[in-house]
Structure 1
Amino acid sequence: MRKPRDFDAELKALEDKARELKNRKVQQLGELVIATGADQLSTDELAGALVAIAETKDTGKREAWAKRGATFFESRPRRTAPTPTRDRRSPSGQSGGTQSPSGGTGSQ
């Protein structure tokens, strides 16, 4: 006879995984703000700049920002941070440490 599935335990595990991924995303976004020097801006300035970037539909500007962001990351020496022992087979949605929506970093 087959063992019944514990749906409650599976749901809790999925919720814990989602919470962990959200926390990692928030941490990585904070690291991105610091790495770019944007932590020197006031909260209002940073929020305003991010809102303007998010609202921009001009693909030319977005491509220029993406190129500038890629150049920023390529020019910085990579630090190897100690990685906790986790199950690396699980998909994370985040790769390479930091990822910005539509490559939108910097301003022009």
Structure 2
Amino acid sequence: MRKPRDFDAELKALEDKARDLKTRKVQQLGELVISTGADALTADELAGALIVLAETKDVGKKEAWAKRGAAFFRGGSRRSAPAPDRNTGGTPTQPGSAQPASGGTGAA
């Protein structure tokens, strides 16, 4: 005779796995923010930039961002090549500074 399935135990195991995956995703997103240098932004600046990125429908911009992201992950050192629209003065942008939020050049 077959042993009956313990649906409660299976459901709990799936819930635990889902919670672990969500925790790992949040941790990886935080590591990504730090490794890209975006942790120098305020939470409001970062949220605003991410909202604009998520709302963008321009396929060309998204492709350019994807290429730049792929190059970032392939690169040996994460911050070695300064981006053309980044502040390369060596000091992080402080909240309330005169630098425009768009990065200055409008390039994708």
> If the length of structure 2 is used for normalisation, what is the TM-score?
0.71
In structure 2, what is the equivalent of residue 59 of structure 1?
A: 59
Corresponding position: 1:11 with 2:11:
yes
Structure 1 residues not aligned, in runs of 5+: 79-106
Q: Report what 1:69 is aligned to.
A: 69
Question: How far apart are 1:76 and its partner, in Å?
Answer: 2.8
The residue correspondences of 1:1-108 to structure 2 (distance < 5 A) are 1-76=1-76, 108=108
Structure 2: stretches of 5+ with no match in the other structure = 79-106
* Residue correspondences, number: 80
Q: Deviations over 1:7-44 (max 9, x none)?
A: 00000000000000000000000000000000000000
In 1, Cα distance between equivalents of 2:77 and 2:43: 28
Corresponding residue of 1:91? none
Q: Which amino acid aligns with 2:13?
A: A
- C-alpha distance in structure 2 between counterparts of 1:43 and 1:69, whole Å: 21
Percentage of pairs with the same residue: 77
Q: Aligned partners of 1:27 and 1:71: how far apart in 2?
A: 22
Distance in 1 of aligned mates of 2:77 and 2:20? 27
Letter in 2 for 1:66: A
Asked which structure has the greater RCO (Cα within 8 Å, sep 6+), the reply is 1
Matches of 1:16 and 1:3 in 2, distance apart?
24
Greater Rg by CA:
2
Give 4+ residue runs of structure 1 displaced > 3 Å after superposition: none
RMSD: 1.5
